[in-house]
Structure 1
Amino acid sequence: MEKIPVITETTASQPRTGPRAGIRTAADDVGTEVVGTRPVHQRPCPGGWRDCDLNVRAVLGSGRGIAHRRLTPARSMPGELAQYVGGFDCGRLFGGRLRSSCRELALRSARQGGSVLCEDGRMPRFTSYDGTTLSYSVAGRGPALVCLAGGPGADVRDLGRLGGLDGFRTLVMLDARAAGRSEVPSDRASCAFTEQARDLEELRRRLEIERLDVVAHSAGTLTAQAFAADHPEKLGKLVLITPAGLVSREVDEVEVAAIRARRADEPGSAEALAAGAQPWSYGAWSDTTRRHHEAEATYPQPPSWLRDAFYVRPASEAAAATEVARRAAVLSPVLVVAGSEDGVAGVRAARRVASCYPVGRLEVLAGCGHWPWIDEPTAFRELVSGFLDG
């Protein structure tokens, strides 16, 4: 029979005994030291620890400013289950009781301000409906917010922490199939945004969240909108950042060309071009935008065929009208964020997207390009957090 791991908190002074041994309370934060044990799991994971969804190693900061202490497994197991460094309330971390799900441990750990890694140092991953393994990261605190990158095929690390949204939400950042650290599927057709919506539903089920709040960027907004149309009852709130379109790629190329021409002689344009960047994709070229551009170059690049596979179009005008009607039936609140200086997607596509949803709202951030959380992080964070909390 498999051993159930136990996390033990050890310090130098008097031990606490009884049923709350190992549980740190507010009184402990002002000097009482604790020695005790409590199981992370009430029962072993099906298939053993190595086959579990998440063999978790979480690293937490001293979120409440109390003395650092270490919790480590008290019994041997195949690899390190969990190591926490920093201050947190065990009772609050586990919601007053310990759950049997590794993914729940990961999500709750991240809500205390930490990041989550699997025991082999990679990000959490799950097997989607067709056997493709997808990776995601978890960071922040508060209710879960699923995040989709653009591209198509951009590494989700391109989103950073979305201007500081991790201070208000637990960011569950999914690498799409054939992108970032997720697998490339054998069936290229499964990379169409209409099909990738199925991965989002699989993630929702794995996280056991009834209604997903989703934030998506650029091409990723098509996947998010397809999910909303397929599962309107499973959507909480939706944030669409510089969207590529409503039911397919619908960027107004005339508008985009005009923005690029208007911005061609801006300060920093020549430097951005020399660095291999598109100066019209940011609100302005700066040290911050340069670092963002340089980071992108370090991420895995998607396969060359992905763009064509992703951007599918409705088969006919009637099919397109049906897809528009399905989105118009989504009654969840939708925030569409555009950048006034976006030379990649422009503003007209965002306007069309926002106008489709009954509870849709468009906000154009002045001076921002295609990555508004990079250009104006404070304005972006306040706008999106206010919408999600409203």
Structure 2
Amino acid sequence: MPIFVAGDQAALHYDESGDGRTLVVLAGGAGRHPSYLGDLGGLPGHLVIPHLRGVGETPGPALSYWQQANDLEDLRKHLGLRQLDVVAHSAGTRLAMAHAAQYPLSVGSMLLITPPSTHLTDTPSDAAEITAHRRGEPAYDAAVAAFGHRPANQLEFEAWQARTAPATYAVWTERERTHSQVGQTDLETVQAYFGVDPPPDFPQQLGKTQARVRVIAGAQDYSTGLAPVLAAARLFAHGEALVIEDCGHYPWIEQPLAFRRAADPFVR
């Protein structure tokens, strides 16, 4: 497994696969092992998938997403790239945007997949409305009820993830159940990742980047809502949003063909 050395001399690991244009792929979770990404439905390109601080083969201590923007910049230099083309999912989009805000000239494009965005915009979540048709499904109702609980330790956190998973997909079949169990997440890593208050002008900083930005939203994504995700695309000077129907938080799993139609032209 390749490594690169960050500015503080820490050795950070990454996976790579495929050929063509280099795409740096950031997993969500936060801090979830990137194995849950698979090959993103066969996304074309040379995929470079870092193991973030405290995740997988990269040792801790874990750091906030704002601090790990420096790691992303060090990875860009290690790869010998003038600019990064980033593909990020869920909480990984926070890291992608933190890097774009701190190093705006180092980013060529960002494909942001189902980014949680209520911290960036004043648009309230419409999650309850867009998933109202699922009320009465026992697994969905239990998942929604569990979202309000805050686990206190790793054991509780793992149980919480299992309980909330059904609401993060548009449907809950064997396919979704199997995927939800891939990729371990550590509670301490999550807490460190979110343990930062970004500058109050973070949204305005994002508006200054000249990177091309495409946001992919799931029309039935309970974990993010739809309206805030669409509003996030409008923060960028060159931002656009595409909505995938009958889809929750994992488009490459739930609607792989629609995901590739949305993603392929952009990353190419």
How far apart are the structure 2 equivalents of 1:174 and 1:251? 31
Q: One-letter code of the match for 1:143?
A: R
Find 2:109's aligned residue among 216, 237, 245. Answer: 237
CA contact (8 A) 2:203 2:235 kept: yes
Q: One-letter code of the match for 1:214?
A: V
Query: 1:287/1:250 Cα in 2 relative to 1: closer, same or farther (>3 Å)?
Result: farther
Find 2:214's aligned residue among 321, 324, 335. Answer: 335
Q: How far 1:386 moved relative to its partner?
A: 0.7
1:315-373 deviations in whole A, cap 9, x for unaligned? Answer: xxxx41x2222110111110001101101111122122100101100111111101111
Find 2:4's aligned residue among 126, 137, 150. Answer: 126
Q: One-letter code of the match for 1:219?
A: A
Query: Which has the bigger relative contact order, CA under 8 A and spacing at least 6?
Result: 2
Q: How far 1:163 moved relative to its partner?
A: 1.3
Matched, 1:288 2:148: no
What's 1:388 paired with? Answer: 267
What's 1:345 paired with? Answer: 224
Does 256-265 or 211-220 show the bigger shift?
256-265
What's 1:173 paired with? Answer: 49
Find 1:263's aligned residue among 118, 131, 134. Answer: 134
Q: How far 1:126 moved relative to its partner?
A: 2.1
Q: How far 1:272 moved relative to its partner?
A: 8.9
Mapping 1:369-384, distance limit 5 Å: 369-384=248-263
What's 1:208 paired with? Answer: 80
Mapping 1:9-28, distance limit 5 Å: none
What's 2:147 paired with? Answer: none
1:40-79 deviations in whole A, cap 9, x for unaligned? Answer: xxxxxxxxxxxxxxxxxxxxxxxxxxxxxxxxxxxxxxxx
1:280-322 deviations in whole A, cap 9, x for unaligned? Answer: 21121223222211223xx3x32x33333322224xxxx41x2
CA contact (8 A) 2:65 2:98 kept: yes
1:64-104 deviations in whole A, cap 9, x for unaligned? Answer: xxxxxxxxxxxxxxxxxxxxxxxxxxxxxxxxxxxxxxxxx
CA contact (8 A) 2:17 2:48 kept: yes
TM-score by length of 2: 0.84
How far apart are the structure 1 equivalents of 2:143 and 2:192? 30
How far apart are the structure 2 equivalents of 1:270 and 1:229? 38
What's 2:152 paired with? Answer: none
How far apart are the structure 2 equivalents of 1:268 and 1:307? 25
TM-score by length of 1: 0.59
How far apart are the structure 1 equivalents of 2:173 and 2:124? 26
Query: 1:271/1:140 Cα in 2 relative to 1: closer, same or farther (>3 Å)?
Result: farther
Query: 1:254/1:307 Cα in 2 relative to 1: closer, same or farther (>3 Å)?
Result: same
CA contact (8 A) 2:212 2:239 kept: yes
Matched, 1:192 2:64: yes
Matched, 1:158 2:36: yes
CA contact (8 A) 2:143 2:167 kept: no
Q: Percent identity?
A: 36
How far apart are the structure 1 equivalents of 2:141 and 2:64? 36
Bigger CA radius of gyration? 1
What's 2:149 paired with? Answer: none
Query: 1:309/1:221 Cα in 2 relative to 1: closer, same or farther (>3 Å)?
Result: same
Q: How far 1:258 moved relative to its partner?
A: 4.0
Equivalent residue of 1:126, what SS?
A: strand
How far apart are the structure 1 equivalents of 2:120 and 2:237? 21
How far apart are the structure 1 equivalents of 2:122 and 2:255? 23
Matched, 1:144 2:22: yes
Give the gaps of 5 or more residues in structure 2. 145-158
What's 2:234 paired with? Answer: 355
Query: 1:225/1:271 Cα in 2 relative to 1: closer, same or farther (>3 Å)?
Result: closer
Equivalent residue of 1:305, what SS?
A: helix
How far apart are the structure 1 equivalents of 2:99 and 2:71? 9
Which structure: greater helix fraction? 2
Q: One-letter code of the match for 1:313?
A: D
Matched, 1:313 2:197: yes
CA contact (8 A) 1:283 1:369 kept: yes
Matched, 1:368 2:247: yes
Mapping 1:273-284, distance limit 5 Å: 276=163, 278-284=165-171
Report the count of equivalent residues: 251
Give the gaps of 5 or more residues in structure 1. 1-122
